[in-house]
Structure 1
Amino acid sequence: MSLIICPGIHEPTLTESFLAELKVKNQQKPGNILIFPIQDYPAYSSGHILHFMCENHSLSSPIAMISFSAGVVGAIGAAWGWQLLGGKVTAFIALDGWGVPLTGSFPIHRLSHDYFTHWSSALLGSGEDSFYAAPSVEHLELWRQPQTVVGYSIDKSEQKRRTTAAQFLTMLLDRYKT
């Protein structure tokens, strides 16, 4: 299984910081993490993301996706396209995908930088377990330093648990064995 990272519109160093803070690179085999090159293509382009996935990953191997901000727009369409081509999406994780409808026949999780974004995004598809920062943080902080973003994880039964965004993401990655 591979992890597909779909950043937003920001400096690529923020994505490196995100991965380092999650320690994802240490847990994955080389080549099992694919970072969509936002310096070459629009972060919000489903077609470009899907093409990148097809060129760099086999349809026979499942994927999990983590996307941020404008990258959520492109990533959800690419996830649908991947499935239409016969691929399997084991999990879709959206960080601050405000205003993006999230539905699919795969597990979907949302993380938000504040309660308002969490609440209003859930109107367009809440998915499964989710997280919101409390107190709220700046939008880019959720991506840059998830280990410092404290808030609440909420499960399907609406039970809240105090945690960090990084701990919540690590729990999801462990659940889906990425």
Structure 2
Amino acid sequence: MLTLVICPGIHDRLLTEQFVEGLRLGEMPGLKVVTFPASGIGAVSSADISQFLWRQVGDPWRSSELLFISFSAGVVGAIGAAWAWQGFGGKVKAFIAIDGWGVPLVGFFPIHRVSHDYFTHWSSALLGSGSDSFYADPGVEHLTLWRSPQTVFGWQQTGGSQKIRTTAAEFIATAIARYHSPSSS
């Protein structure tokens, strides 16, 4: 079974609920979703996220594979937690960073970036471009990308100069589907 780990940033929890609804995660059979209850600066704590995962998912070497989706300040804590999970013998299928501007993203797992505008997309790629990525065009407010990904249109870049017009929600759902096989759950 694939466990989707949602690591929000520092914002109202209602925005995260709206994000989950916008992605329609309840319609993906065999997918377990756990949301880190970020509170203030806790969003950046890899240790807090790791402890949460041990309680919610179990021992890394015996539990399901994880796919992280993180936002803003939550990207800082989530990338460290993903490294720790893998370091303790767990499997990280992929990592999706949403507006993790300024956070170096490297790991022994596929990384996907989602940005609220082209500048953030371009400048974040300097610290690790990842597999494929998405940027909003026209650009949107930072919190809009998290609250309503289904309303944010832009471009998916799959490598080189190839671009595909889509929404942030479709890009994220496609990435999840790539790593999730309901028949193997």
TM bucket (normalised to shorter chain) is over 0.9
Tell me the equivalent position of 1:46: 46
Q: Contact between 1:41 and 1:48, CA under 8 Å: does it hold in 2?
A: no
Question: Cα offset for 1:56?
Answer: 1.1
> Partner residue of 1:13?
14
Residue-by-residue CA offset, 1:19-57 (whole Å, 9 max, x unaligned): 001101232558x11100113871010110011111111
Q: Name the % identity.
A: 58
Give the whole-Å Cα distance in 2 for the aligned partners of 1:56 and 1:78.
Answer: 14
TM-score w.r.t. structure 2 length? 0.92
Amino acid at match of 1:26: E
Match of 1:87 among 85, 90, 106: 90
SS of 2:44's equivalent in the other structure is coil
Deviations 1:55-114 (A, max 9, x none): 111322110000000000000000000000000000100000000000000000000000
Q: 1:166 aligns with which of 166, 169, 177?
A: 169
Question: Match of 2:73?
Answer: 70
Q: 1:100 to 1:40 in 2, by over 3 A?
A: closer
Instruction: Give the structure 1 partner of residue 100 of structure 2.
Output: 97
Regions of 4+ moved over 6 Å: none
Gaps of 5+ in 2: none
Residues in 2 aligned to 1:14 and 1:83: alpha-carbon distance in whole angstroms: 29
What is the TM-score normalised by the length of structure 1?
A: 0.95
Gaps of 5+ in 1: none
The 1:115–1:88 alpha-carbon spacing in structure 2 relative to 1, beyond 3 Å, is same
Corresponding residue for 2:37? 37
Secondary structure, counterpart of 2:43 in structure 1: coil
Separation (CA, whole Å) in 2 of partners of 1:62 and 1:132: 27
Rounded to whole Å, the distance in 2 between the matches of 1:33 and 1:40 is 21
Q: Distance in 2 between matches of 1:55 and 1:156?
A: 37
